[in-house]
Amino acid sequence: MPEKKFLSVAVPNWEMVFTKGEHGVQVFARGPESHASEAEIPRDTEFFGIQFSLGTFMPNAALSRMADKAVSLPVEQDRRFFLCGEFWEIPSFENSEVFVNKLTSRGLLVSDSLVADVITRSGWTVSDRTVQRRMLRATGLQPGLFRQIERAKRAAELLTSGKSILDVVDAEGFSDQAHLTRSLRRFFGCTPKQILMTSGH
C-alpha cells in the first residue's frame, strides 16, 4: 500500500516532531519551509509536533541551515533524545509546555522581538544589515522571503474570507492577478480560484 501524502505549505516557523512507529521513537527538528511541497505520511505512525512561535530560536542551532530540511536527533532507548549537548526526556502532548519552559529557563530557547516588528511592519532603529542578520538567525529565512510568505498567507486569508481576487491583488500590493497566482502556487501549492472554491465562495 502506498504511503499517504499531504501538501506541506511554506511556513516561517520551525518545529520539533516526535514520532512512534515501526522504527521506534524518532525525533526531528524541522526548519522553516520556503515553498509548498508534497510530504508523505508514514503508515501506522503516531506523531505530534511543537511549533515554535515566530522569532523564537535556539542560539546553538543555525535555523538557516535547517530551511526545507528535517534533522534527525539521536534517541536513547525510545525515552530520551540528545539536544544542545545533553539528553532530554521525550515529551508527550500533555507535558510539552513543561518541556518548552525548561528550554526557556535554561536559556536554550530565546526570542527576538524584531521579528514581530517586521511582521507588523513597524519602524525599527537598527540598520537593514542588522535586520537581515537577526531575521536570518531567528527565522532561518532572509527578510525578503519571509515577507513574501507572510504576504501570501494574508492573501490566502482574505480569499478565504470572501474577498475577490482583484481586491486581494490591490490590498496586498501584487502587480497583477498573475503575480498573486504565482505567489500562492509557490508558497501554498494552489491558485486563488482553488482557495475560493474550497472556502465556498
pLDDT in tens, 130-143: 989 999 999 999 98
| Same domain, yes or no: 8 and 58 | yes
Domain presence at residue 142: no
| Same domain, yes or no: 13 and 73 | yes
The distance from CA 22 to its chain's CA centroid, rounded to whole angstroms, is 27
Structure confidence at residue 170 (pLDDT) = 97
Cα dihedral: 61, 67, 69, 70 (round 10): 40
pLDDT band at 115 (very low <50, low <70, confident <90, very high): confident
Q: Is 107 helix (H, G, I), strand (E, B) or coil?
A: coil
Domain presence at residue 122: no
How many structural domains comprise the chain? Answer: 2
Domain presence at residue 145: no
| φ, ψ (nearest 5 deg) of residue 133 | -65, -45
Domain presence at residue 22: yes
- From residue 105, give the alpha-carbon distance in Å to each of 22, 76, 97, 136: 34, 24, 12, 23
pLDDT band at 23 (very low <50, low <70, confident <90, very high): confident
- From residue 135, give the alpha-carbon distance in Å to each of 21, 35, 62, 114: 36, 18, 12, 8
How many other C-beta atoms can be found within 10 angstroms of the C-beta atom of residue 141?
Answer: 22
**Amino acid letter at 79?**
R
Spatial separation of the C-alpha atoms in residues 11 and 26, rounded to whole Å: 22
Boundary (domain end) residue, out of 83, 111, 139: 111
Are the beta carbons of 39 and 5 closer than 8 angstroms? yes
Q: Could you tell me the residue range of the domain that residue 194 belongs to? A: 151-198
- Global confidence as pTM: 0.83
Cell reading at 161: 474570507
Mean pLDDT score, 25-31: 93
